[in-house]
């Protein structure tokens, strides 16, 4: 997801409509960038749903148009995931803070979009700082783009 609208409830029809409009504008701008400028999209698409499947197709299409598409699946153990979800800073970003969400995600283990992409990095960040994780991703991306 490129941006989360601040005027709609998370996952509401208005939220999804706003996200899709923002992504359309962003896609047009991304395609105008020089190819050596990397673009990072962040989202969590797990399981299957009409909107989630369409969202993944839009991401893959953008990767095809401007590639290469590099997919990074970041994960951590349940206790760390709960600690991060409950962090106060998430509220200011209007991100969910419900620890039950983490428990459900760990128990159900829905398959993440992109799991079958050729350029996939699975990174356990349980014991990594944000800087350490970013460094590992950047190093992998540099090798993958060659």
**Residue 146: per-residue pLDDT:** 65
Provide φ and ψ at 142, rounded to 5°: -60, -45
Task: Give the pair of three-digit tokens for residue 115.
Answer: 């799991």
User: In angstroms, rounded to a whole number, what is the distance separating the alpha carbons of residues 143 and 129?
Assistant: 22
Q: State in Å, rounded, how far the first CA of the chain is from the last one.
A: 26
**Residue 3: per-residue pLDDT:** 47
Chunked into runs of 10 residues, the chain (146 residues) has average pLDDT values of: 58 86 93 90 84 90 90 94 90 85 84 89 95 96 82
Question: pTM of the prediction?
Answer: 0.78
DSSP label at residue 3: -
**Residue 2: per-residue pLDDT:** 43
Cβ neighbours, 10 Å, residue 12: 11
Cβ(137)–Cβ(72) below 8 Å: yes
The residues near 76 (Cβ < 8 Å, ≥ 6 apart) are 84, 124, 125, 126
**Residue 79: per-residue pLDDT:** 94
Please give the helix or strand (H or E) that residue 124 lies within, else none: strand 120-124
């Amino acid at each position: 997801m490129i941006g989360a609208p601040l005027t709609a409830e998370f996952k509401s029809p208005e939220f999804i409509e706003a996200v899709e409009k923002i992504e359309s504008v962003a896609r047009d701008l991304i395609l105008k960038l020089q190819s050596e400028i990397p673009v990072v999209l962040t989202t969590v698409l797990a399981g299957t749903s009409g909107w989630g499947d369409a969202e993944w197709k839009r991401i893959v299409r953008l990767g095809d148009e401007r590639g290469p598409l590099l997919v990074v699946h970041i994960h951590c153990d349940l206790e760390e995931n709960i600690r991060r979800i409950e962090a106060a800073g998430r509220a200011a970003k209007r991100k969910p803070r419900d620890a039950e969400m983490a428990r459900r995600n760990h128990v159900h283990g829905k398959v993440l979009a992109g799991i079958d992409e050729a350029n996939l990095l699975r990174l356990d960040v349980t014991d990594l700082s944000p800087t350490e994780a970013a460094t590992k991703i950047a190093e992998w991306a540099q090798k993958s783009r060659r």
